[in-house]
Amino acid sequence: MTDNLAESIGRLGIFADLTRSERQALADELAEESFAEGRWILRQGGGRAGLYIIVEGEVGVIVDDEERATLATGSFFGEVSVLLGEPPTAGIVTRSALRCLVIQPDEVEEFLLAHPRVMYRMLQTEVRRLRTADPERN
């Protein structure tokens, strides 16, 4: 199972800079969870969130009862909540069957510091999201 997971995460941009052995180590250390279509994973203003990295599937990002974005394979969510130690700023609902890697809130800092290339890729993604959210400021 972890060999298949290591192969799957090797196709995700956030892990693109990792070697095969580093991806295998991640597959061994990270929790994998699956969710059925139509399931709420996070609720806006709800409890603590972890960091979720989509291995396969699609989710809707819901803010104030309005779908604002769709995230698919290779995307991640929960990072704002976990990094700031605040409740989720958006709800996340599955739009298809979903497979994710999940890093628990109390493990995210250690994970990111241990994998600076992954952290750098996350920062690049956040900047792209900001640019897309407010194109007039670019």
Per residue in 92-113, pLDDT (tens digit) is 999 999 999 999 999 999 999 9
- Contacts of residue 104, defined as CB under 8 A and 6 or more positions apart, other chains included, come to 31, 50
Q: What architecture is the 2-137 domain classified under in CATH?
A: Sandwich (2.60)
pLDDT for the residue 61: 96
CA-based torsion, 114, 107, 22, 9: positive or negative: negative
Is the distance from CB of 24 to CB of 87 less than 8 angstroms?
A: no
Phi and psi at residue 117, in whole multiples of 5°? Answer: -70, -35
Helix (H) or strand (E) holding 71, with range, is strand 66-72
pLDDT for the residue 11: 87
